A = this chain, B = another copy of it.
Amino acid sequence: MFILVNLKAYPCDPVEVASAARDVAEDSGVRIAVAPQAAHLSRVAETDVETWAQHVSPVEYGSHTGSTLAEAAAEAGATGTLLNHSENRLKLADIDGSMQAAERADLETIVCANNPEQSGAVAALGPDAVAVEPPELIGGDVSVSSADPDIVRDAVDAVTAVDDSVDLFCGAGVSTGDDVTAAADLGAKGILLASGVAKADDPRAALEDLVSNL
């Protein structure tokens, strides 16, 4: 199980969350990464937590003002990147371009998708993982296991049918250790979560709960 904590644009202290994630990962043996704002990548990477970008642009070195260059994210310490998050939907051609940029910079990729059909589609582009984000679960308090478990199973099937080397992650609806177990039982190899850790009063305790059943 891989747990990726997306800090979005939250007013949290990225170094505090990163340090907690590093410690819980070490103590539990569970793989945990943190995805901060691009401007915070180097400070987060300095904690030695596994550091991911929230996005990289579909560009190479060149005249691209305001882009997030994959190579710059890597230099700042990122080893992977999210792409096509529901808050940052990309053109299909740009998902492909950003994945090529990530590959050049040796970044792993998790590409988000709305539903099983789109999960199968992005699997065809060969990411490391696809994260399915059922729209009805995004940002809510509903657990994926109680709300719509079939969407995870269907997404696993859709991804596997296209490329069985691509993992399916659960991209929404997980906030507790029981949710993590439920997601794993549905076939998810990883989870994305955000506010459950980043906005928690005690991020370390939230992370410890998440890994408690693993």
Residue positions of A touching B, CB distance < 8 A: 6, 8-11, 37-43, 53-55, 57, 59-69, 71-73, 75-76, 78, 82, 84-96, 113-115, 117-118, 120-126, 139, 158, 161-162, 194-195
Q: A42-B43, A43-B42 are in contact. Are A115 and B96 (CB under 8 A)?
A: yes
CA A57 – CA B61 in complex, angstroms?
A: 22
Q: What number of copies of this chain does the assembly contain?
A: 4
Closest to A95 in B: B92
B114 touches A125 (CB 8 A): no
Inter-subunit contact B73/A85 (CB<8 Å): no
Instruction: For A66, give its contact among B10, B55, B61, B125 (CB under 8 Å).
Output: B55
CA distance A196 to B37 in the complex (A): 29
